[in-house]
Amino acid sequence: MLNQNKVLNFSKMHGLGNDFVILDRINQEFNLSKQVIQKISNRNTGIGFDQLLIVEHAKNIKYDFYYRIFNSDGSEVAQCGNGARCFAYFIYLKKMTIKTTLMVQTQNSHIIIQIINKNNIIVNMGKPQFNLLNIPKFILNNFRLNTFTVNDCIIKYGTIFIGNPHFITIVKNIKNYPVCRIGKILNNHSFFPDGINVNYMQVVSNEHIILRVYERGVGETQACGSGACASVVFGIIQGILKNHVIVTLPGGDLQVRWNGFGHDVYMTGPAEYVYDGYISERFFKV
């Protein structure tokens, strides 16, 4: 169902080039099929986005809003760090609340977002988890890594869950690494039945890493907030990173802070408003 003008209003935003279409489901009614989401995501014939974000009423009175995320292939996921910053900045710009600190409910948890200004939005991503169903356990005893063989190449890695499952490996030359080829193989492997976000990190110093991420359901993106957090946690556990790290992604820099086991992960970065638009009713005919 669309509004009386038979259009669906949206905003286009991005966080370090990781781009989003944001829909307000509080002030307009709509239902989107997987096929329609795929159609909107098409960069040639639609609007184009990495993820679609939907703002809804909270399902519990202790939260301010409910946050839903759909990949460009139409699959729903539980977390997106760059999206969380854009989600909060959208709410701020549209004056949907006067608060600058938001408690936001997600599919499987909640996040706390503080808006200082558009260049400094802090997201409390919660506590990282290391042993969940459908991702191999990252063995913490002696910080032992798992190994995975791809085309006779042995990859050492760890898996960490921060709203989404992440596979993290360290590479020496990230510029020439086959990010998409390896990422696609891993996401189609039975070892990861739900798919997995694949993070490739190059360590510049104990306070700076370079990161590229192949996101499940999307492909390589310009930035991945939860991937940045997972990679820093991985590096801290390995003893090669300090507690506060700059993460350089293709789209720009994020700051990630983690004080170790039992503590939440904090990510700081920008959000950019691009434009508002609307989708007409005829576009929904698949």
Looking at the fold, whether 109 and 19 belong to one and the same domain comes out as: yes
Looking at the fold, whether 153 and 228 belong to one and the same domain comes out as: yes
Looking at the fold, whether 82 and 151 belong to one and the same domain comes out as: no
Looking at the fold, whether 24 and 43 belong to one and the same domain comes out as: yes
Q: Which domain holds residue 220?
A: 141-263
Looking at the fold, whether 149 and 101 belong to one and the same domain comes out as: no
Looking at the fold, whether 149 and 117 belong to one and the same domain comes out as: no
Specify if 1 maps to a domain: no
Residue 283 has pLDDT above 90, yes or no: no
What is the overall mean pLDDT for the chain? 91
Looking at the fold, whether 175 and 109 belong to one and the same domain comes out as: no
147 touches 157 (CB < 8 A): yes
Mean pLDDT, residues 68-85 taken together: 92
CA distances from 18 to 64, 221, 235, 271 (A): 24, 6, 23, 10
What DSSP element (H or E) covers 56? Answer: strand 51-57
Specify if 135 maps to a domain: no
What are the tens digits of pLDDT across the range 36-64?
Answer: 999 999 999 999 999 999 999 999 999 99
Catalytic residues: 80, 224
The total of structural domains in the chain comes to 2
Mean pLDDT, residues 182-202 taken together: 90
Looking at the fold, whether 162 and 72 belong to one and the same domain comes out as: no
E strands of 206-269, at which residues? 208-215, 219-221, 244-249, 252-258, 265-269
Specify if 131 maps to a domain: no
Looking at the fold, whether 205 and 278 belong to one and the same domain comes out as: no
Q: What percent of the chain has pLDDT over 70?
A: 93
- Token representation of residue 262: 């039992």
> Quick check: pTM over 0.85?
yes
What's 149's domain CATH number?
3.10.310.10
Looking at the fold, whether 50 and 27 belong to one and the same domain comes out as: yes
CA–CA dist 130, 157 (Å, integer) = 13
Looking at the fold, whether 254 and 152 belong to one and the same domain comes out as: yes
Looking at the fold, whether 194 and 245 belong to one and the same domain comes out as: yes
What are the tens digits of pLDDT across the range 95-127?
Answer: 999 999 999 998 878 899 999 999 999 999 999
Half-sphere exposure of 65 (CA within 13 A, CB side): 25
